[in-house]
Structure 1
Amino acid sequence: MSTELSASSPEPAPARRAGFAALSADLLVVLGGALLVWRAGVVGQRLLDRGVNIYLDFPPLFASWAPHTGPGTIPAVAVALAVVLGGPVLARRMRWGPLLGITYLASLAWTASLTLVDGWKHGVLTKLAGNKNYLAEIDRVESIPGLLATFTDRILLEPGSWAVHVAGHPPGALVVFVWMERIGLGGFVAGAVLCVLAGATVGIGIATTLRALGEEGTARKILPFTVLMPGAVWVGVSADGLFAGVLTCGVALLAVGSTKRGWRGAPAALAGGLLLGFMLFLSYGLVLAGLLPLVVLVLTRRVRPALVAVVAVVGVVVTFAAHGFWWYEGYQLVHERYYQGIAATRPYGYFAWANLACLVLAVGPAVLAGLRRLAFAPRRMALGARLLTVSTLLCLLAADLSGMSKAEVERIWLPYSLWLVLPCALLPRRHVKWWLAAQAILALLINHLLRTRW
């Protein structure tokens, strides 16, 4: 009798007051994020009015105002409702293997639906096929060894130079699309599908990493949030979605391999090392992401898998160098090319803080609330998730201060920003559905009110 009465009795008044105070603080942080976005828009528009060409139609985002719907509208709303209403329960109760499978399918459906809100042509065909993007350069590549040997010759802005996105990155992404074309899987649609398929692995990659580190409870809490991250708007179909998938899968495989005794973890560690090594040749900025696998190695403290992974990374770097592409030389030339173009007129002082407004829109209000709770009660979060979050924040800070990503960071920072889902594990269970709904609504508003570009 007493047990039943205590189970049904209302929450004590002090606990209710504490919960209300915490929620109020969460909402204040979200309001602060909204004000940052608003201020970045106002100041950005003033810069445009003064004739400063920041190459943004709708600052701080690289987008234009264009309210619209599309064939992905109804599926996107349906996926959002399904995840909001059923995601938290499934994440708590389902067996691990099937849970990862359904999470991946939900992420895939969410990303694809958001992409198709812009229609087939703008949402899929033109984003990788424009004259500034990777697929426009495939016909110029006679062989992959020849591509690597001469790649740096075409980075600087001059007649015959690479298209903007190709010149601004190492040759890895172009190599991937050339490989696909050589084996008969080339084309705009195949490239877009690859980016979406890879980008949708981020959630299960993060969850697999946490579980390998012994933090399955945290992994289960964040899985629904990995699906509805507003950043999915830019995962489909940008190559940065591909980059995010490669990074996350590399870290997950390293974590799995590093938690096995002896040489049993060597195959996973080898695969993870190869992915992390190749990651360096997808985007120069991803060198900062080396903090994430470093956290894994520090926490697991397994020497053999670590050595295997390091050898694999070095092997990838040596392979590229042996074929004529040296990473640091490419980076130096890209730094020069960056300031030959639009970066020359984009003021550092504005974007150093306006970039953070773009980040707010990419991660959503739930992440802001989670970060606030982490800042005030860090020990409530498992150690691995806590260190991975701090490492991610350091990556973002370094990328921001570098001056090499002025604007468009809603897309460029995807490989890092998607890891900021981790503090969502700190949100109270009774509020989770509301925070998930907020994430979904933000993504739907961005995708239906704006035409995003890259």
Structure 2
Amino acid sequence: MASPGATDASPARAAGSPPARAARTGLVLTLLLVVLAFALPALLDWQTWSRASRSAHPWASPPLHGFWDPKLVGPGTAPALLVGLLGLTWLPRHAAVASWGRLLLTSYAVALAWMLALAFVDGSEGISRVLDHSSEYLPSAREVDDVPQMLRTYADRIPYSHPDNWPTQAAGHPPLALLFFVGLVRVGLGGSFAAGLVVTAVGATTVVSVLALLRTLDAEVLARRAAPFLVLSPAAVFMAVSADAIFTAVTAAGLALLARAAVERERRWIGWAVGAGLVLGCSVLLSYGMALMGLVSLAVLVAARSWRPLPVAVVAALVPVLAMAAAGFAWWEAYPVLTERYWDGIAADRPAWYWMWGNLAALAVSAGPLVGAGLAHAGARARLLRGDALGVGARAVAVLVLGAVLAIVVADVSRMSKSEVERIWLPFMPWLTIAVALLPDAWRRWGLALQVAWALVVQHLLYTSW
């Protein structure tokens, strides 16, 4: 077996090679996509939002679900600059030489610090304001006093026509997301600030799961290269203020367990596969969109070259889904009801001709422009997959990235993701971000600075609603 990443990037080191040209093209196109998505609606007066949304926020900034609110400094500006500078000057070197356990620990700590510092640019409200909004889970969670009854009537309360219909987030997701916050309320963490800290702390575990998965697939060298970009991702701007950070962390953990099941040689693989299935089954009960992570799950098995865990994981994944159905909520019955509500609401006022590519611009804002360069570079090298010329670790990364790209394409063309995608794309972003590990060394050195600067600019220019 080849050493992790042993043949990595050598074809791409020449500045004029096709992968290097593709990386430059990918970066330019990503930046152009973002500029056009922001500029064209304003310059040409396109009606990309519902009229009610535009009236409420005249400075709304499609393709993001937020609005322009420039600020020079905030309480978290200095800490964010400090964490960013630490990450730029120390983290890449530390990631390359630290013991694996120490790398996981420091990656979690710095990711958590980065998320909190960015959120605190807006003061303590940067953590609390989103979760306490009337459309979010917490207000609904505080009103739940009978969980069995809530589950039995959950789908009935999705339509707008119901006199006691759920607010946007509870209606738009299966009940496990709401139950998470019900649990926080029951243990005394139902305040918006406390709940926000919990969400952020859980969300920061994502980087640990992704790194663990890559190492499991013989991609430790590339995991170490990707670590600074996963830790200091611009997605942190939205992770710290969104319940989707929980969905991101849960799915990443499930995929890491699945990878372990795929490579385990002894009978213990069954336990890992059961654990993976249970966790991934729960992820589908957190968000309907997590069903698309099945494509990334298949990519994990392809990268591991083992289909052995698949039937066990699938059966295990059905356990929480069927248990929830027995309790009164059938996923397959509720989703069509949600679809009707979606198209009865403001989705009908959001033109698909804009959001089909505006979605991708919002993803680029959240993931950072270097990810566009990484994806283009990986695509240019994809032909090497046929002969395994990429090496074991690089092949695994490329396959995972491809799975995430396919999932995003399906979500985009489904038209069920119009707007708000800087939030709903979060579970897919780590699997796109790892593409930067395939970039040449020079690209990664200045690219990390670009990602950090991008996150700071987004946080200071925009009022982010998630």
- TM over 0.5, yes or no? yes
Report the count of equivalent residues.
439
Task: Tell me: CA distance 1:233–1:40, structure 2 relative to 1, closer, same or farther (3 Å).
Answer: same
Does residue 440 of the first structure (1) align with residue 438 of the second (2)?
Answer: no
User: What is the CA deviation profile of residues 383-419 of structure 1, one whole-angstrom value per residue up to 9, with x for unaligned ones?
Assistant: 2211110110011001111111111111111101221
| Displacement after TM superposition at 1:140 (Å) | 2.8
List gaps (5 residues or longer) in structure 2: 1-11, 55-59, 385-389
Map of 1:127 onto structure 2: 130
Q: Does structure 1 residue 414 correspond to structure 2 residue 417?
A: no
Q: CA deviation at 1:306?
A: 4.0
- 1:43 Cα deviation after fit: 2.7
What is the aligned partner in structure 1 of residue 6 from structure 2?
none
What is the CA–CA distance in structure 2 between the aligned matches of 1:105 and 1:272, rounded to whole Å? Answer: 25
**Residues 47 and 128 (structure 1), Cα distance of their counterparts in 2 relative to 1, 3 Å cut:** farther
Whole-Å separation in 2 of the counterparts to 1:327 and 1:36: 36
Tell me which amino acid in the other structure corresponds to 1:44. Answer: P
Distance 1:232 1:238 in 2: 10
Match of 1:150 in 2: 153
Counterpart in the other structure of 1:65: 68
Change (3 A) 1:18 1:27: closer
Aligned to 1:8: none
1:259-270 correspondence runs (5 A): 259-270=263-274
Given the alignment of the two structures, is residue 383 of structure 1 paired with residue 395 of structure 2, yes or no?
yes
Cα distance, 1:49 vs structure 2:
6.0
Give the secondary structure class of the aligned counterpart of 1:162.
Answer: coil
Q: Which of 261, 278, 285 is 1:281 aligned to?
A: 285
Alignment check: 8 A CA contact 1:253 1:269 kept:
yes
Match of 1:18 in 2: 16
The corresponding residue for 1:81 is: 85
The amino acid across from 1:74 in the alignment is A
User: Match for residue 394 of structure 1?
Assistant: 406
Q: Which amino acid aligns with 1:218?
A: L
Which position in structure 1 is the counterpart of 2:221? 217
Matches within 5 A, 1:357-376: 357-376=361-380
Cα drift, residue 241 of structure 1: 0.9
How do 1:38-437 and structure 2 match up within 5 A?
38-45=35-42, 48=45, 53=50, 55=53, 57-68=60-71, 69-121=73-125, 123-158=126-161, 159-300=163-304, 305-378=309-382, 379=384, 380=390, 382-437=394-449
CA distance 1:52–1:108, shift in 2 (3 Å): closer
Q: TM-score, normalised by structure 2?
A: 0.89
CA shift in 2, pair 1:285/1:213, >3 Å: same
Equivalent residue, structure 2, for 1:33: 30
SS of residue matched to 1:321:
helix
The answer (yes or no) to whether the contact 2:13–2:440 under 8 Å persists in 1 is: no
Deviation at 1:46, TM superposition (A): 5.0
Distance of 1:450 and 1:419 partners within structure 2: 25
For residues 391-450 of structure 1, give each alpha carbon's deviation from its aligned partner in whole angstroms, at most 9, with x where no partner exists.
100110011111111111111111012210121112222332210000000010000011
Deviation at 1:290, TM superposition (A): 0.9
Question: What CA deviation, in whole Å up to 9, does each residue of 1:326-381 have, x standing for no partner?
Answer: 11111101101111211111111110011111111112122111112111122347
> What amino acid does structure 2 have at the position aligned with 1:39?
L
Kindly provide the CA deviation profile for residues 251-299 of structure 1, in whole angstroms up to 9, marking residues without a partner as x. Answer: 1122123321232233333332221010001111110011122222344
Paired residues of 2:303 and 2:400 also in contact (CA < 8 A): no
Identity %: 40
Task: State the distance in 1 between where 2:239 and 2:15 align.
Answer: 40
Report deviation, 1:23.
5.4
Quick one: distance in 2 between partners of 1:425 and 1:34?
A: 20
1:33-88 C-alpha deviation (Å, 9 max, x unpaired): 22211211233225656696363601211111111222111111111111111121
In structure 2, distance between residues paired with 1:15 and 1:257: 35
Q: Would the aligned equivalents of 1:272 and 1:309 in 2 still touch at CA under 8 Å? A: yes
CA contact (8 A) 2:22 2:380 kept: no
Provide the secondary structure at the position in 2 that maps to 1:64.
strand
SS at match of 1:128: coil
TM-score (norm 1): 0.91
* 2:465 is the alignment partner of 1:453: yes
Distance 2:273 2:245 in 1: 23
Q: Distance in 1 between matches of 2:379 and 2:201?
A: 34
Offset, 1:183: 2.8
The 8 Å contact of residues 48 and 350 in structure 2, kept in 1 or not, is answered as no
Instruction: Sort the Cα spacing of 1:368 and 1:216 in 2 relative to 1 into closer, same or farther, 3 A.
Output: same
1:216 partner amino acid: E
TM-aligned CA distance change 1:103 to 1:151, over 3 Å: same
Instruction: Provide the rounded CA distance (Å) in 2 between the counterparts of 1:191 and 1:292.
Output: 29
C-alpha spacing 1:31/1:304, structure 2 compared with 1 (3 Å):
closer
Distance 1:93 1:62, change over 3 A: same
Deviation of 1:187 after TM superposition, in Å, equals 2.3
The residue number in structure 1 matching 2:5 is: none
Contact kept in structure 1, 2:26 and 2:375, CA below 8 Å? no
Structure 1 residue ranges without an equivalent (≥5) = 1-13
For residue 129 of structure 1, what is the amino acid of its counterpart?
D
User: Kindly tell me: are residues 39 and 303 of structure 1, through their superposed partners in 2, closer, same or farther at Cα, counting changes over 3 Å?
Assistant: closer
Letter paired with 2:360:
L
Distance 1:72 1:254, change over 3 A: same
Secondary structure of the corresponding residue to residue 129 of structure 2: helix
Kept after mapping to 2: 8 A contact 1:114/1:232: yes
- Larger deviation, residues 35-44 vs 203-212: 35-44
Tell me if the contact between 1:266 and 1:304 (Cα under 8 Å) persists in the aligned partners: no
